[in-house]
């Protein structure tokens, strides 16, 4: 069985939590077994978007580390 990781971006978590819940409900409706890695953190996109590459890099590397063993990563946006 394929492993599916669910990544919830900061803005979904803080501003639109209903979107995260809806994504989980939708995946469950299609019998997708989803894991939510407890070690996930900010992916670094806000820093990358504002040109702060040195600040974004460690967060992006952490994201890759946390999700490296998953076959698919679902990320609502």
Q: What's the whole-model pTM score?
A: 0.85
Q: Which residues contact 55 (CB under 8 A, 6 or more apart)?
A: 44, 47
Q: What is the pLDDT of residue 67?
A: 98
Q: pLDDT over 70 for what percent of the chain?
A: 100
Q: How many helices (H) and strands (E) does the chain have?
A: 4, 3
Residue 77 pLDDT level (bands cut at 50, 70, 90)? confident
Question: Tell me: the pLDDT tens digits for 35-54?
Answer: 999 999 999 999 999 999 99
Q: Where are the domains of the chain?
A: 4-74
Mean pLDDT of 15-35: 95
Q: Which residues contact 72 (CB under 8 A, 6 or more apart)?
A: 2, 3, 4, 5
Q: Across-strand partners of 73?
A: 5
Mean pLDDT of 23-37: 95
Q: Across-strand partners of 34?
A: 4
């Amino acid at each position: 069985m394929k492993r599916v990781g669910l990544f919830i971006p900061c803005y979904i978590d803080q501003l639109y939590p209903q979107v995260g819940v809806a994504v989980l409900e939708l995946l469950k409706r299609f019998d997708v077994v989803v894991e939510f890695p407890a070690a996930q953190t900010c992916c670094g996109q806000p820093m990358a978007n504002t040109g702060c590459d040195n600040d974004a890099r460690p967060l992006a590397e952490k994201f890759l580390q946390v999700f490296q063993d998953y076959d698919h990563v679902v990320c609502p946006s």
